[in-house]
């Protein structure tokens, strides 16, 4: 993407000089690069070895935030003694902008609790399981804060641009371009920005930027990613300017990432509001050592494990758990509800939507819209790619979608169907197979479907070989031994959930075996018969999740031993500093 750094060397010259360049323009089949003038004699007929250089900016922003002197215990370690009494007289009667909130007591309680927070309170958590209207609650809270206190200033962040765009888009109906600002990193492409948000941005020299300071500080709401939350600090916005800092989808970001906006912009009176679900996708950490040392635990999850954020004793004071699920059919919701949410979620979906496939000929049981289709296939790889695919499952996915699209009684459109697969190669194969049948169907990884829903969700698990499970565990791929990825995948469906996979592999994981038993015992099984007793208790202590923990411990111990053997005198460190790194902390803005 624009802004990335690459290293190139003439192919076949291992001792040749490496040249560093920058990516400036990206087209569909071409990339525009810029190099130093010393890079001469290149030819379009020549071959080059290319290495991609890690973008250090996000990591540097995290270090920058962690190095600040602002370390309040009420934010970092919010014990019960830091909980301030709520302002009981403030905003007793509110008129919700979204009238549906009046019929949802947990959502209404969350909004009122945020309005009643005393400045300098401990972080407030909106615990939003799938389909419970978490983002709706966040939007309502932002609107109410500014309605009751027009002088308030809000920084709303999220880990990804898509999540930040969603927040900004839902605020456009309430705020003008003089009140709402969508802050993008300079490397963001203009065409990647939703058209409805472009008037809420600022560009200079064809790159996203910030306006002059007086204008920048006048916005009531600034929306950006967690990493881009460093920009206000970089352009000189004073600490404490924002009265409230929101972090949506907080469970998906690492703790240092969340702290970028908090530790650089908050003061002793700033209130922090986190929203998310620690039972869904967490931050992606590739290093098994970093995972074992706790990097995989998000700030949200860490807080939720403390007594201060007990969902019962802290209800309305430090946390509110949303429990009304407006997305899924009861049969789809039942298993994840009992497994991850103590059975507290209430099925409240629109009957016309969630019952859309009751009685469908695709169902194994006409009143149970959950299918597990057993496929004993083969997971394979092509020589040109390390990613996996399973042709047998590709064929089965196509078969279901063809049948669904041709059924006039249970009619459905392409954009109401989603296909989730854990590997890029499988997604490519499925997309190719659907081009002539239903090319409008979204096919992607579970990460791409986080926060989304479809009337029909088809999951292709791919795995048919036990030998590759260790590969998945090492690279944090696949569905096996990943409860959060499983939870997100099965809770995207509104009316019909179809899971395709090899039961002999999936059943080795306790969570998957329990799910397969649930589907089988309710009549939703298709394909080859089950090979174990589905009524027998499932042993929860074994499985691949235990293997992953044990492997991580071995890796960490090995790493510790190797580090102990090293001495500073025996290690030569060559630090390369490029212009982008030098400028990482340099303010950038229009001159007033």
Among 89-103, 202-216, 268-282, 304-318, which is the least confidently predicted range?
89-103
Contact of 136 with 111, CB cutoff 8 Å: no
Q: Which of 413, 459, 460, 420 is nearest to 439 (CA)?
A: 413
294 and 364 housed in the same domain: no
DSSP secondary structure string for all residues of 402-423: HHHHH-STT---GGGEEEE-SS
Decide: residue 496, CB within 10 A, 0-12 exposed, 13-18 middle, 19+ buried.
Answer: buried
Residue 559 lies in a domain: no
SS3 (DSSP) at 324: strand
pLDDT number for residue 80: 95
pLDDT number for residue 591: 37
Q: Average pLDDT for residues 87-104, to the nearest whole number? A: 83
117 and 259 housed in the same domain: yes
340 and 312 housed in the same domain: no
Give residue-wise pLDDT tens across range 493-517.
999 999 999 999 899 889 999 999 9
Whole-number Å distance between alpha carbons of 360 and 337: 24
**Of 263, 289, 322, which marks where a domain is finished?**
322
* HSE value, Cβ hemisphere, 13 Å, CA-based, for 345: 28
Ranked by mean pLDDT, the top range of 52-56, 302-306, 559-563 is: 302-306
475 and 380 housed in the same domain: yes
Q: Is the pLDDT of residue 528 over 80?
A: yes
Residue 411 lies in a domain: yes
Q: 378 pLDDT band (50/70/90 cuts)? A: confident
pLDDT number for residue 82: 96
**Of 525, 540, 555, which marks where a domain is finished?**
540
pLDDT number for residue 89: 65
With b for 16 or more beta-carbon neighbours within 10 A and e for fewer, the 294-329 pattern comes to ebbbbbbbebbeeebbebeebeebbbbbbbbbbbbb
555 vs 171 pLDDT, higher one? 171
Q: Is the pLDDT of residue 15 over 80?
A: no
Q: 168 pLDDT band (50/70/90 cuts)? A: very high
258 vs 57 pLDDT, higher one? 258
User: Encoding tokens for residue 95?
Assistant: 């008129």
Q: What are phi and psi of 99, to 5 degrees?
A: -60, -25
Q: Is the pLDDT of residue 448 over 60?
A: yes
Q: 51 pLDDT band (50/70/90 cuts)? A: confident
Q: Is the pLDDT of residue 146 over 80?
A: yes
Long-range contacts made by residues 101-105, C-beta under 8 angstroms, separation at least 24?
101/136, 101/137, 101/140, 104/133, 104/322, 104/324
Q: Is the pLDDT of residue 2 over 90?
A: no
Structural domain count of the chain: 3
19 vs 3 pLDDT, higher one? 19
Q: Average pLDDT for residues 350-376, to the nearest whole number? A: 96
Q: Is the pLDDT of residue 238 over 90?
A: yes
Give residue-wise pLDDT tens across range 465-474.
665 555 555 5
Q: Average pLDDT for residues 219-239, to the nearest whole number? A: 96
User: Encoding tokens for residue 266?
Assistant: 């908050």
Q: What are phi and psi of 50, to 5 degrees?
A: -120, 135
Give the gyration radius of the chain's Cα atoms.
26
Whole-number Å distance between alpha carbons of 129 and 336: 10
Among 219-228, 299-308, 331-340, 422-431, which is the least confidently predicted range?
422-431
Q: 142 pLDDT band (50/70/90 cuts)? A: very high
Q: Which of 117, 115, 120, 124 is nearest to 92 (CA)?
A: 115
Q: Is the pLDDT of residue 568 over 80?
A: no
Domain that residue 181 falls in? 64-322
Residue 384 lies in a domain: yes
Q: Positive or negative, the Cα torsion across 415, 416, 422, 426?
A: negative
Contact of 357 with 456, CB cutoff 8 Å: yes
Q: Give the position of tokens 């999850």.
A: 301
Q: Average pLDDT for residues 226-239, to the nearest whole number? A: 95
pLDDT number for residue 553: 54
Whole-number Å distance between alpha carbons of 478 and 390: 13
pLDDT number for residue 550: 58
Residue 203, strand partner residues: 208
278 vs 88 pLDDT, higher one? 278
Q: Give the position of tokens 């496939």.
A: 357
Contact of 264 with 65, CB cutoff 8 Å: yes
Residue 174 lies in a domain: yes
Q: Is the pLDDT of residue 297 over 80?
A: yes
CA angle centred on 446, ends 3 and 380, rounded to 5°: 95
Helices (H), 191-329: 213-218, 230-234, 255-265, 288-292, 299-304
416 and 488 housed in the same domain: yes
Contact of 511 with 548, CB cutoff 8 Å: no
314 and 336 housed in the same domain: no
Residue 525 lies in a domain: yes
pLDDT number for residue 542: 63
pLDDT number for residue 381: 75
Q: What is the mean pLDDT of the chain?
A: 87
Residue 553 lies in a domain: no
Whole-number Å distance between alpha carbons of 581 and 384: 34
532 and 408 housed in the same domain: yes
Q: How far from the centroid of its chain's Cα atoms is residue 463's Cα?
A: 23
220 and 350 housed in the same domain: no
Q: Average pLDDT for residues 411-426, to the nearest whole number? A: 93
CATH number at residue 118: 3.40.50.300
Q: Average pLDDT for residues 352-356, to the nearest whole number? A: 97
| In the chain, % of residues over pLDDT 90 | 65
Give residue-wise pLDDT tens across range 57-82.
889 999 999 999 899 999 999 999 99
| In the chain, % of residues over pLDDT 70 | 86
**Of 290, 322, 354, which marks where a domain is finished?**
322
Q: Is the pLDDT of residue 347 over 60?
A: yes
pLDDT number for residue 375: 94
Give residue-wise pLDDT tens across range 534-567.
999 998 876 655 555 555 555 556 655 665 555 4
Cα–Cα distances in angstroms (integers) from residue 498 to residues 354, 372, 521, 525, 534, in the given order: 14, 6, 16, 10, 19
Q: Is the pLDDT of residue 379 over 80?
A: no
Residue 574 lies in a domain: no
pLDDT number for residue 561: 62
Helices (H), 172-305: 213-218, 230-234, 255-265, 288-292, 299-304
424 and 312 housed in the same domain: no
SS3 (DSSP) at 374: strand
Residue 370, strand partner residues: 497
Q: Average pLDDT for residues 22-34, to the nearest whole number? A: 74
pLDDT number for residue 392: 93
Residue 297 lies in a domain: yes
243 and 223 housed in the same domain: yes
pLDDT number for residue 577: 37
Cα–Cα distances in angstroms (integers) from residue 212 to residues 203, 571, 586, in the given order: 12, 46, 16
User: Encoding tokens for residue 540?
Assistant: 């929860």
31 and 135 housed in the same domain: no
Whole-number Å distance between alpha carbons of 156 and 139: 10
Whole-number Å distance between alpha carbons of 122 and 125: 10
Q: Average pLDDT for residues 277-303, to the nearest whole number? A: 91
DSSP secondary structure string for all residues of 113-169: HHHTPPTTPPPEEEE--TTS-HHHHHHHHHHHHHHH-TT--EEEEESSHHHHHHHHH
Q: Average pLDDT for residues 150-171, to the nearest whole number? A: 95
SS3 (DSSP) at 336: helix
- Can you give the three-state secondary structure of 471-487, one letter per residue? HHHHCCCCCCCCHHHHH
340 and 466 housed in the same domain: yes
pLDDT number for residue 468: 58
């Amino acid at each position: 993407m624009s802004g990335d750094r690459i290293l190139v060397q003439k192919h076949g010259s291992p001792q040749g000089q490496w040249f560093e360049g920058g990516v400036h323009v990206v087209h569909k089949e071409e990339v525009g690069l810029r190099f130093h003038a010393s890079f001469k004699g290149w030819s379009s007929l020549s071959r080059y070895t290319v290495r991609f250089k890690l973008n250090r900016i996000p990591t540097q922003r995290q270090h920058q935030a962690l190095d600040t002197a602002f370390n309040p215990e009420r934010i970092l370690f919010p014990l019960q003694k830091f909980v301030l009494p709520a302002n009981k007289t403030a905003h007793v009667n509110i008129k919700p902008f979204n009238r549906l909130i009046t019929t949802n007591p947990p959502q209404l309680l969350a909004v009122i609790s945020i309005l009643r927070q005393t400045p300098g309170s401990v972080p407030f958590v909106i615990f939003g399981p799938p389909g419970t209207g978490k983002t709706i609650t966040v939007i309502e809270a932002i609107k109410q804060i500014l309605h009751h206190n027009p002088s308030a200033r809000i920084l709303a962040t999220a880990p990804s641009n898509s999540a930040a765009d969603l927040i900004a888009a839902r605020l456009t109906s309430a705020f003008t371009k003089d009140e709402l600002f969508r802050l993008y990193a300079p490397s963001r492409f203009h065409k990647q920005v939703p058209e409805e948000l472009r008037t809420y941005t600022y560009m200079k020299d064809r790159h996203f930027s910030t306006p002059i300071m007086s204008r920048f500080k006048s916005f009531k709401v600034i929306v950006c990613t967690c990493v881009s939350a460093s920009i206000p600090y970089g352009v000189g916005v004073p600490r404490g300017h924002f009265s409230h800092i929101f972090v949506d989808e907080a469970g998906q970001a690492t703790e240092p990432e969340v702290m970028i906006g908090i530790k650089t912009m908050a003061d002793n009176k700033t209130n922090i509001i986190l929203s998310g679900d620690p039972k869904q996708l967490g931050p992606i950490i590739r290093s098994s050592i970093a995972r074992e040392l706790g990097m995989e635990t998000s700030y949200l999850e860490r807080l939720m494990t403390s007594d201060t954020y007990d969902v019962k004793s802290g209800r309305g004071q430090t946390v509110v758990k949303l429990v009304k699920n407006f997305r899924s059919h009861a049969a789809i919701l039942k298993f994840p509800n009992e497994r991850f949410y103590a059975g507290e979620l209430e099925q409240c979906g629109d009957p016309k939507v969630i019952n859309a496939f009751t009685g469908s000929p695709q169902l194994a049981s006409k009143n149970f819209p959950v299918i597990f289709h057993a496929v004993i296939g083969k997971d394979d790889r092509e020589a040109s790619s390390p990613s996996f695919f399973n042709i047998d499952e590709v064929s089965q996915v196509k078969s279901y979608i063809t049948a669904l699209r041709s059924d006039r009684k249970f009619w459905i459109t392409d954009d109401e169907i989603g296909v989730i697969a854990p590997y890029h190669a499988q997604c490519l194969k499925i997309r190719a197979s659907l081009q002539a049948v239903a090319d409008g169907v979204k096919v992607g990884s579970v990460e791409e479907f986080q926060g989304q829903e479809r009337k029909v969700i088809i999951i292709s698990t791919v795995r048919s070989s036990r030998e590759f499970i260790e590969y998945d565990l090492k690279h944090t791929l696949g569905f096996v031994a990943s409860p959060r990825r499983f939870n997100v995948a099965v809770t995207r469906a509104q009316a019909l959930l179809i899971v395709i996979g090899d039961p002999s592999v999936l059943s080795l994981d306790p969570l998957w075996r329990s799910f397969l038993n649930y589907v089988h015992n309710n009549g939703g099984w298709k394909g080859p018969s089950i090979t174990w007793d589905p009524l027998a208790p499932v042993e929860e202590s074994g499985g691949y999740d235990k293997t992953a923990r044990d492997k991580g411990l071995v890796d960490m111990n090995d790493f510790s031993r190797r580090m102990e053997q090293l001495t500073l005198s025996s290690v030569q460190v060559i630090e390369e500093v490029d212009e982008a790194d030098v400028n990482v902390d340099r303010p950038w803005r229009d001159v007033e």
